């Protein structure tokens, strides 16, 4: 009998340099704290930043919490992601709509909006901090960390 593969998550924003890398880092941290083995990645619906590292402000915010994301590299969502990942979690409604549009027929991934996993914030977007200052990245971190903790509690409670 083979072991069940770990639950898998892909976080998706537009360029994969601000919000989705922070969400990836937050879920990695929450899963480690809970002792869960998860497959976690992030990607963007756009191709502008492929191969580049996260925005320096995202790196700085993650480092403020003891997490180094400087080795992460931006990539674009691909058709195989809809089979590889159990859950594909968009950081905003626009990217969720894009994911639904590009999803291949018969895919197995469950699509959701990240803040749907935070009571009281359902249906809301994680605002894109790209054009603002460091305070936007602090807000993004708080939101993605809370959602990550809720996702871990959900997984721990359901076994998946």
Is residue 87 within 8 A of residue 10, CB to CB? The reply is: yes
Annotated catalytic residues are: 13, 19, 128
Burial tier of 40 (Cβ tally within 10 Å: 0-12, 13-18, 19+): buried
Question: In terms of Cα–Cα distance, which of 119, 121, 117, 120 is closest to 152?
Answer: 117
Question: In terms of Cα–Cα distance, which of 8, 35, 39, 31 is closest to 145?
Answer: 31
Is residue 47 within 8 A of residue 75, CB to CB? The reply is: no
Report residue 41: phi and psi, to 5°: -150, 175
Written as six digits, the tokens of 108 are: 């197995």
Written as six digits, the tokens of 117 are: 């996993």
Is residue 58 within 8 A of residue 137, CB to CB? The reply is: yes
């Amino acid at each position: 009998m083979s072991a069940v593969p770990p639950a898998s998550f892909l976080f998706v924003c537009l360029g994969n340099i601000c919000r989705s890398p922070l969400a990836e880092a937050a879920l990695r941290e929450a899963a480690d704290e809970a002792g869960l083995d998860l497959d976690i990645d992030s990607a963007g619906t756009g191709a502008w930043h492929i191969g580049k590292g996260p925005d320096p402000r995202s790196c700085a915010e993650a480092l403020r919490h003891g997490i180094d994301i400087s080795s992460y590299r931006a990539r674009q969502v691909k058709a195989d992601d809809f089979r590889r990942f159990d859950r594909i979690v968009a950081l905003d409604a626009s990217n969720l709509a894009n994911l639904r549009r590009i999803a291949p027929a018969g895919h197995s991934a469950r699509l959701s909006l990240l803040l749907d996993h935070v009571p009281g914030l359902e249906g809301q977007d994680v605002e894109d901090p790209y054009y603002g200052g460091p305070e936007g990245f602090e807000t993004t971190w708080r939101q993605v960390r809370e959602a990550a903790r809720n996702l871990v509690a959900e997984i721990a409670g359901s076994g998946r």
